[in-house]
Structure 1
Amino acid sequence: MTDKGLNKRMGDLHEEYIANLFGQRQTRGSGNQWRDQMDSKHDRTTCVFAFANDGKSTLGKSIGVTRAMWAKAVEQAGGERPMLTLRFYADASLTKADIDLAVFDALDAAEMREAAELWHKTKPLLEALAEKRPRCIPVLVELARRLLDEDA
């Protein structure tokens, strides 16, 4: 396999893996369409933490992340949160990745952590209510909708 063929295969495998891992839609042509850039993305109208991903993969020892690379990801994310994913393959068979990393804005990480902590605290209460008083769930859902509408 030529270097060009190997690089394409590395990229294709990585893009497919990330899209499946994050539940994203893969873009056509690896994001080479002006109206649908990046490798894969969520839809911000249906997802709170919607990311647009640009993947980089290598058999080498390093992958450089530059300001220009990040600026391009921000621009091409088109409203979704930009993310770079970095994959280090173990060998040219491409059957095993040694390391898979995701790079995204620290503010996004803090927001996700806050949401996860809130869910962690809320989930047992909601589960207990659903178990003990299932008829109260529609009332709680309606109350939550009203509170959210007030904030909007």
Structure 2
Amino acid sequence: NIEIALVFLVDSVVWLILLPVLYQQGNVQVILTFSSSIVHGMNSVFMMIDFAFNRLPIRLFNMTWMVVWALCYIFWAMLYYSITYRWRYPFLNLWTPTAMIWYALVFGMHFVFFFLCYGLYLLKMKACRKVFPNFDETMNVSLQIEDEMETGF
């Protein structure tokens, strides 16, 4: 259930950080392609549809996986640079004076987007409880079935 937060994070980085940088470099055609628009635009729409109709809970302890993801990505970016001698994204370049600010900003955005999605989840649960009086009972039954399927008991 961290995917929804990661989708919004990645899309925000692409449109709010990468696009302006590429615009300054005169290289916007890298992002403004049909496939990139679909990948970094429509996936948010599809994730919101999925979020609206599924019963997958968002738990606070899953924030741990967002932190693990962020740290793995930082490690991957540095590994990618050590192999190719090229930074995957310009703002990740450690040799620029603002690099640590960008790393901290993107790391912090993981928390912001997770808690925004967690808040949306709480609002969805509140709305479902108002519309469907026995929502908690059906939610518990579906979670119990899911647990049984995972454990095999």
| TM bucket normalised to smaller | under 0.3
Higher strand share: 1
Greater CA radius of gyration, 1 or 2? 1
